[in-house]
Structure 1
Amino acid sequence: MHSYLIDGLTVLFPFEAYQCQLDYMKAVVECLIKGQNGILESPTGTGKTLSLLCATLAWLEQYKIHNSDSNEAPVQIIYASRTHSQLAQVVKEFKSTDYNRMKITVLGSRDQLCIHPEVKSLENSADKISVCREKVRHKTCLFHRNFEMSKPDITKLPPMDIEDLVKVGTQKKFCPYFAARELKEKADIIFMPYNYLLDSKARRIHKINVRKCVVIFDEAHNIEQQCEDAASVTISSLDIAACLDDITKVMKWMIESQSLTPSSIISTDDNEENNIDTNALTITQDQICSLKLKIMKLEELLDNMKITKGNIPSPGDVAFKWLQSAEIDFNPQGDLQQLQEINQFMTARSGSLFRSKGHALLKVAEFIETVNPLDENGQPCFTFDMDAQRKSVFKVYIEEESNNNNNN
């Protein structure tokens, strides 16, 4: 290792650094010491990633030494890049540094990390999420149960990328997805794709708190589009109608299940993980009736909206007022959670009990959460006194679909 003193900070570098790398590390260190933002650019092939990692981790190492007696939450580094393949390369670079003893984790989706055969076989990502959550809630996933029992050992794992974690999880039969999230709590550096950081829904799901973090965006030239995508949503009257149809199907099941004995509802197959019982839903009949009335009101409001010629946008607070008028409960444990729970219930039992997997329920839930996003603690990102900001930064387009003449 080669040692360089940069603005009073000793930085260890795996090779003899070029001047452009020293200049780059000096700029990184300056931003970190001053606690300011920085936009840094370096030509391809100049060792930008290695320079960025070494300078940042050298600073973090010194910061931890000087603040070891502090009662404050530890500072973490969040390293975001566009794709998991890029992150895998960054982790490889990390392993070549003298800082590879530091704790890391790589956050990924169930598409990359789930090893449950049934969940892996599902093609739709939303279905994987729903079935996984249902299995975890009912404690029917062997890999999640093993993860819960293996937490002390998991926290001692060496630095590894997603492929390494999946390989170890498969060998030891613990869930790599939840293991990555567990490792996040004590990690010095957390690697993740852009959207996990920029999308408030993803931040809440993965419990990503950026308040005590140094955030690094690698290859940041497409961040603007990522932000637009994360804050945009489309919903049609067909989606809402399908959502109401799904809610009605579950309401009928709840009524019919009351007349059945437990033995006629619960599967007799000892290996069946999707037993259908009257306790499968925590939502009550009164709650699901109330939810249906609210979605019906939302449907009515959208159907009554006038379509403006020339596709002229409405102010950004219009969509929020729709939800308010429909009396949608923005509490994290309110209507949003109920829509997600019904979706999980239907997806886990599609084919055996329902033809639909409840995708429309998630469309409505996504609409609610995008219009009124929640932070990682489940609190609204916008407060009720921020209507002016909603008007200025968001636009609502209401148009007629050419194929079926339904309103968007």
Structure 2
Amino acid sequence: MPLPGLLVPRLRRGLALAFVLLVGLGAGVTAGVYADQAYPDQLPLLAPRASAKGLDQATFNRALQIIHNDYYDPRPSYANLSHGTVRGLVEGLNDRFSYYLDPAEYQRQLNSYAGQYTGIGVEVTNNADYPVVDTVFPDSPAAKSGLRPGDVIIKIDGQDVHGQNSDQTSNLIRGKAGTTVLITVDRGGEHLDLPVVREPITIPSVRSVKLEGNVLYIRIYSFGDSTAADFDKALKDGLPGEKGVILDLRNDGGGFIDAAQNVISQFVSSGEAFELRDHSGHVDRHNVSGNPPAASIPVVVLVNANTASASEMVSGSLSAHHRAKLVGTVTFGKGSVQQDFPLPDGSDLHITIRRWFLPDGSSVEQKGLTPTVGAKLANPAEMYDAGKPELGHAKDTQLNAALQLLGVSSAA
């Protein structure tokens, strides 16, 4: 449920998420915030180990002193003050894709990177009003309870969720396995109370189905730890004899750039997949790996407004190399890269460190990708469900448009 993300490749061992050199840099950024000698042992994150040029330490010190001496309710713990201070530093960046996670929040994020958590099995988009269900994972508690894409969540356990952000919504929905959460939704003006029993959830990374006309359909839900291997297997098992590939990246909010690079490399023979640029102007070019198994087969990519970041990287790169046509609606428009910097107390800084660009030098930032063929889906519930292929795709206008591009007249 977080905002769409694109992360640098992780060091696999121990799930350490930051490169060694950048961990040192990150530690330097958090040092020297607090210069008053009164609390260095109690507030280790704020201890004066280095100077911070231009930082108004006097104002910060005075504010902390007032809270410590005069706050009416029980004095907040030093751990909470530390977390709040670092959270405030990140909020000062005015970047919606950079944020601070306390130890519990960070652990939940690690679980989501691995595609595992305890919840109900949905992806939602949070807007200014209420969360909207984008994806209901096959065989999940949400699917069993009757939740559908397009449902507007208005209450969770009786609590109105108007205006809540993704983390707040996620925290209310997730919980211990075996417990029940009551989800109240608005479905076409009708309010429905749906009790859902939380279970351990494993998010599917890739699902594939053979469609009519010898077309291989592959959906990527997110670019996670297992995506590269899962996608390779889907191609290896499904490609022989197929005349075209439909890659469905609708509602895919992104993930790891190494997974995105792997997918691009399955279809492009040579050249640049994408490039990364940091604040100093350094350019890091990422090329395809070569010898792709699907270098010549026609490809159509399905996209929508929730196709973001790593999925835009794949869509845009395949389009720039003239290896795929895009069908759907304009994509999200996220052209930045984030990285996790774990902190000593188990918390985490998740901040933007680079921008990414397509092989032609263009960026999707705040404008997205415009499809080759525009096609709208009137009802999100009509999106083809690869977990239930027996239901067909007769009402999925975007998928049917993709089939037509491949010369297949859909009758499903």
Smaller-chain TM-score bracket? under 0.3
Whichever structure has more strand as a proportion of its residues is 2
Q: TM-score, normalising length from structure 2?
A: 0.27
Q: Normalising by structure 1, report the TM-score.
A: 0.27
Tell which structure's C-alpha radius of gyration is larger. 1
